[in-house]
């Protein structure tokens, strides 16, 4: 029982790394769904650079989250959790309040595709990351000592 309690936090860490790490090849290789998502969000925001660089920017943030969560120190876990919460908050907001939608509709090789798993995995990552950040909040630089 003590072993499970000691290593309990690895469960959400591994789930987040599988989800975010699994999306990295799509972010960095110009996959059709990634191109579509960041094109829609870039147009919605009126940020031309985000249409072409958004996948790299968000992919880099997600890679940093994975690396921070892999380090089994409370401060790196807290920071990784906070960055993941911020990144996933943006993803969730764009799915809900932009033309992107909960179900992303895009073209791949001339075929209309649909995918709603990105929205639901963003919610799962947000919840797990919030748990990790909250659990390690006392170790956050500057604000942690005041919590």
Percentage with pLDDT > 70 across the chain: 93
Check residue 12 and give its pLDDT.
Answer: 96
- Residue 84 clears pLDDT 80, i.e. is over it: yes
- Quote the pLDDT of residue 121: 97
Write the secondary structure of 96-147 as one string of H (helix), E (strand) and C (coil). HHCCCCCCEEEEECCEEEEECHHHHHHHHHHHHHHHHHHHCHHHCCCCHHHC
pLDDT in tens, 24-41: 999 999 899 999 999 999
- Does pLDDT of 146 surpass 90? no
Predicted TM-score (pTM) of this structure: 0.90
């Amino acid at each position: 029982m003590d072993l499970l309690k000691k290593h309990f936090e690895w469960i959400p860490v591994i789930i987040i790394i599988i989800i975010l790490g699994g999306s990295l090849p799509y972010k960095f290789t110009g996959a059709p769904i990634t191109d579509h998502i960041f094109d829609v969000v870039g147009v919605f925001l009126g940020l031309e650079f985000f249409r072409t660089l958004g996948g790299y920017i968000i992919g880099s943030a997600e890679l940093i989250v994975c690396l921070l969560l892999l380090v089994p120190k409370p401060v790196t876990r807290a920071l990784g959790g906070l960055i993941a919460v911020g990144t996933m908050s943006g993803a969730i907001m764009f799915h809900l309040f932009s033309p992107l939608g909960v179900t992303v509709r895009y073209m791949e090789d001339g075929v209309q595709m649909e995918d709603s798993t990105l929205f639901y995995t963003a919610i799962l990552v947000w919840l797990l990351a919030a748990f990790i950040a909250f659990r390690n909040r006392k170790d956050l630089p500057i604000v942690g000592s005041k919590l």
